[in-house]
């Protein structure tokens, strides 16, 4: 398989899942700041110009964090990356979508790319402040959802990979995490696959 990713981005969560599964894959780095995602060859691969992208063994292309994570889990059932029962699966999807759609799409997007929300550079600080406020509110919601011990759904799942990358971002922008989110982040940092991924992507283990 071919995995298109950017270090320290949302694709880090998929990278973790691939490492957890000990999958065989080639990494292709996409430099977002340099505009690799809008170059013709990448657009031909993924017209959305987004990461992550997974080109599977049959040559078919899969995009979107949730879709890739779900496909990895369902094609590797013995790994137990999703619960077996419908209720557990729904809760995993619920958590994953909240991390990707709300924390990433509505909060951190404002922090990292304020120009997408305000054309006037003078307004960027206000947009970033809004992003931090939204992130704090979203983490507070998650803090009520996460268990005091263990992972998001009891055992490690695809939801934990999604939660980790937004927790990692919070750490990088010095946004305090509420207690249960902070405990989850520390628990994830203790996983061997997470440590390997962070080293491979050029980060020190916090």
Tell whether 111 and 161 lie within a shared domain: yes
Q: Are residues 187 and 90 in the same domain?
A: yes
What proportion of the chain, given as a percentage, has pLDDT over 70? Answer: 100
Element (H, E) at 28: strand 26-29
Q: In whole angstroms, what is the distance from residue 142 CA to residue 178 CA?
A: 9
- Mark whether 42 and 65 lie in a shared domain: yes
Instruction: Return contacts of 26-30, CB within 8 angstroms, 24+ apart.
Output: 26/1, 26/2, 27/3, 28/2, 28/3, 28/4, 29/5, 30/4, 30/5, 30/6
Q: Residue 126's domain is classified under what CATH number?
A: 1.20.1050.10
- Co-location of 93 and 153 in the same domain: yes
- pLDDT tens for 82-109 read 999 999 999 999 999 999 999 999 999 9
Position 65 scores a pLDDT of 98
Q: Do 153 and 105 belong to one domain?
A: yes
* pLDDT one-digit tens code per residue, 8-43: 999 999 999 999 999 999 999 999 999 999 999 999
Say if residue 69 is in the same domain as residue 116: no
**DSSP for residue 7:** T
Range of the domain at 51: 2-79
Query: In this structure, are 104 and 177 located in the same domain?
Result: yes
Q: Taking all residues of the chain, what is their mean pLDDT, rounded to a whole number?
A: 96
Average pLDDT of the segment spanning 138-163: 95
* β-pair type (53-55, 61-63): antiparallel
Q: What is the CATH number of the domain that holds 61?
A: 3.40.30.10
134 and 173 inside one domain: yes
Note whether residue 10 is domain-resident.
Answer: yes
Phi, psi of 153 (to 5 degrees): -115, 25
Decide: helix, strand or coil at residue 154: strand
pLDDT single digits (tens) 175-198: 999 999 999 999 999 999 999 999
């Amino acid at each position: 398989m071919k995995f298109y990713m950017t270090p320290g981005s949302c694709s880090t969560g998929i990278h973790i899942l691939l490492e957890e599964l000990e999958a065989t894959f080639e990494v292709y780095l996409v430099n977002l700041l340099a505009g690799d995602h809008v170059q013709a060859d990448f657009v031909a691969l993924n017209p959305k110009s987004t990461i992550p992208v997974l080109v599977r063994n049959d040559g078919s292309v899969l995009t979107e964090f949730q879709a890739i994570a779900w496909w990895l889990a369902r094609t590797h059932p013995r790994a137990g990356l999703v619960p077996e029962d419908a209720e557990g699966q729904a809760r995993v999807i619920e958590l994953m979508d909240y991390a990707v759609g709300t924390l990433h799409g509505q909060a951190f997007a404002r922090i990292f790319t304020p120009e997408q929300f305000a054309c006037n550079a003078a307004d960027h600080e206000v947009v970033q402040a809004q992003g931090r406020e939204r992130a704090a509110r979203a983490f507070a919601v998650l803090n009520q959802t996460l268990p005091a011990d263990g992972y998001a759904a009891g055992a490690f799942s695809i939801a934990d990979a999604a939660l980790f990358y937004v927790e990692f971002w919070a750490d990088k922008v010095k946004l305090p995490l509420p207690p249960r989110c902070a405990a989850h982040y520390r628990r994830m940092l203790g996983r061997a696959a997470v440590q390997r991924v962070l080293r491979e992507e050029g980060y020190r283990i916090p």
